[in-house]
Structure 1
Amino acid sequence: MTATTPGAVDWRSAWTAALDDLEMDVLAVETMLADERRIAETPPSDLWRPPTELGALPLELRPRADEILTRQLAAAEEIARRLTANRQQMAVTSRIETGEAIKRPVYLDCAM
């Protein structure tokens, strides 16, 4: 068993805390995507900011960081998909005539 230096423990702890914060941010986005009503009612209040002066990621935390990145990319893809669907829906609804602006006849009598 090898002894770890206090600096190595602090470095690993700092990275673990940074990944914890990032994972909570991804979880919040995933939760909002799962509940559309919550998106409208609860805007995000505390956006994640990358920590500074951490140095290189410890190798043992790489799988966790990769998994968080995969989840982030999936959430970003879902957000983009929903934005596209929303734009398409807005385009369709903007073309729907309400009948208020232009009064048109309801029927045309061609018997005459």
Structure 2
Amino acid sequence: MSDWRSAWVAALDDLEADVTRIEELLRTDQFNRDTPATDPWAPPEGMGPLPLDLRPRADRILARQIAAAEGIARAMAGNRRQAALANRIELFDSGAAPPAYLDRAM
């Protein structure tokens, strides 16, 4: 195996490990916990173009990354809805004006 191909295999291994970690977080609902931020991926310097035989694997990883990003967006939207509902319940806010009482005894 050439050094060029080996470098790309290692780079794709890293990308695949990242997306696998995100998929696992989505499955286990760990978005509510602190997770370390990751650096944006860039191919290592001097690797040259992606070998053609690795293109299908790179495409599958990209599709998984897109699906994971969509899952993150759905999870975030769900969390916002849940937080808004919890806030309404906590404040007893039905969206209507609060009741007003008038003491007519005076």
The sequence identity of aligned pairs, in percent, is: 48
| Counterpart residue identity of residue 43, structure 1 | T
CA RMSD of aligned residues (A): 2.5
Deviation, 1:39, is 3.9
* Bigger CA radius of gyration: 1
Q: Map of 1:1-112 to 2, 5 A cutoff?
A: 9-36=2-29, 38-41=30-33, 43-44=35-36, 47=39, 49-50=41-42, 51-96=44-89, 97-98=91-92
Normalising by structure 1, we get a TM-score of 0.70
Q: Could you tell me which runs of 5 or more consecutive residues in structure 1 were left unpaired when the two chains were aligned.
A: 106-112
Normalising by structure 2, we get a TM-score of 0.73
Deviation, 1:49, is 3.3
80 and 41 in structure 1: CA distance in 2 versus 1, 3 angstrom threshold: closer
Q: Could you tell me which runs of 5 or more consecutive residues in structure 2 were left unpaired when the two chains were aligned.
A: 102-106
66 and 18 in structure 1: CA distance in 2 versus 1, 3 angstrom threshold: same
Greater length-normalized contact order (CA 8 Å, ≥ 6 residues apart): 2
